[in-house]
Amino acid sequence: MEQRPRETPADLAEVLPILGRVSILGGLDEAQLQTVLGKMRRARFPAGTRIFEQGGRPDCIYVIRRGRVKIVVDVDARPMELVEYGAGQCFGETSAIGILPHSATALALEDTEALVLPVRAVHELYREDPALFGILMLNIAREACRRLHKTDEIMLHYAARKGSG
């Protein structure tokens, strides 16, 4: 079952080094980062926590400050690991802007601290700061394309191995 994060406000000076490495926040100036950060909350997930579940309703974008998270899918009732993320990486962003349920489950591999951006806050940015919203959406689209490209490479590699053996 999904665990609701214990949230506390985040401070820009404390998290700026991490935010500067996050792909979906690329190209934002300090004032824009402050705006986004003002909508984020810090959340802690103990090791083993299911942050969200495959099939669940997406409601947040997560930026890992400390710790590691793995993304798994259930295949024939068995978990299959897709990817692992660490500090400075984000997850949940493509589900959060889409209209479909989560396609995978996110599990904290170790005690993890994340900055959480609720989807409703992204919608607020659309009304409050369309330019910032546009940069954020472009960055999310680019990240989704990078991940799709990587998935394509994996599938081609798998298909080539399957065809030769």
Q: How confident is the model at residue 130 (pLDDT cuts 50, 70, 90)?
A: very high
Closest CA to 62 of 103, 30, 94, 14: 94
Provide the number of structural domains found in the chain. 1
Instruction: Judge whether 35 lies within some domain.
Output: yes
CA distances from 137 to 23, 48, 128, 151, 158 (A): 11, 31, 15, 21, 31
**pLDDT above 80 (res 8):** no
What count of other Cβ atoms lies within 10 Å of the Cβ of residue 96?
19
- 4: buried, middle or exposed (CB in 10 Å: 19+, 13-18, 0-12)? exposed
Q: Per residue in 45-69, pLDDT tens?
A: 999 999 999 999 999 999 999 999 9
Q: Which domain holds residue 103?
A: 6-164
Instruction: Judge whether 89 lies within some domain.
Output: yes
Instruction: Judge whether 115 lies within some domain.
Output: yes
CATH code, domain with 83: 2.60.120.10
Instruction: Judge whether 1 lies within some domain.
Output: no
Closest CA to 23 of 83, 126, 110, 93: 93
Instruction: Judge whether 146 lies within some domain.
Output: yes
Q: What is the pLDDT of residue 25?
A: 94
| Calpha distance 63→52 (Å, rounded) | 14
Q: Per residue in 108-125, pLDDT tens?
A: 999 999 999 999 999 999
Instruction: Judge whether 85 lies within some domain.
Output: yes
Q: pTM of the predicted model, to two decimals?
A: 0.84
Backbone angles phi, psi at 115, to 5 degrees: -100, 130
Contact 120, 58 (CB under 8 A): no
Instruction: Judge whether 118 lies within some domain.
Output: yes
